[in-house]
Amino acid sequence: MLYIIGLGLSDEKDVTIKGFEAIKSCERVYLEAYTSILMVSKEKLEEFYGKELILADREMVESQSDEILLNADKKNVAFLVVGDPFGATTHADLIIRAKELSIPIQTIHNASIMNAVGACGLQLYNFGQTISIPFFTDNWRPDSFYDRIKENRNLGLHTLCLLDIKVKEQSIENLARGKKIYEPPRYMNVNQAIEQLLEIEEQRKENAYTSETLAIGIARLGSLTEQLIKAECTS
Q: Binding-site residues for S-adenosyl-L-methionine, please?
A: 9, 84, 87, 112-113, 163, 221
* Residues in CB range of 206: below 8 A, 6 or more apart: 146, 150
> Cβ–Cβ contacts within 10 Å for residue 29, how many?
23
Q: Which residues does the annotation place in the binding site? A: 9, 84, 87, 112-113, 163, 221
Contact yes or no for 210/197 (Cβ under 8 A): no
Contact yes or no for 145/120 (Cβ under 8 A): no
For residues 177 and 194, give the distance between their C-alpha atoms in angstroms, rounded to a whole number: 34
Alpha helices in the chain (DSSP H): 17-24, 42-49, 58-63, 65-69, 89-100, 113-116, 144-154, 172-177, 190-204
For residues 75 and 22, give the distance between their C-alpha atoms in angstroms, rounded to a whole number: 12
For residues 53 and 208, give the distance between their C-alpha atoms in angstroms, rounded to a whole number: 44
Angle (deg, nearest 10), helices 190-204 and 144-154: 80
For residues 72 and 167, give the distance between their C-alpha atoms in angstroms, rounded to a whole number: 27
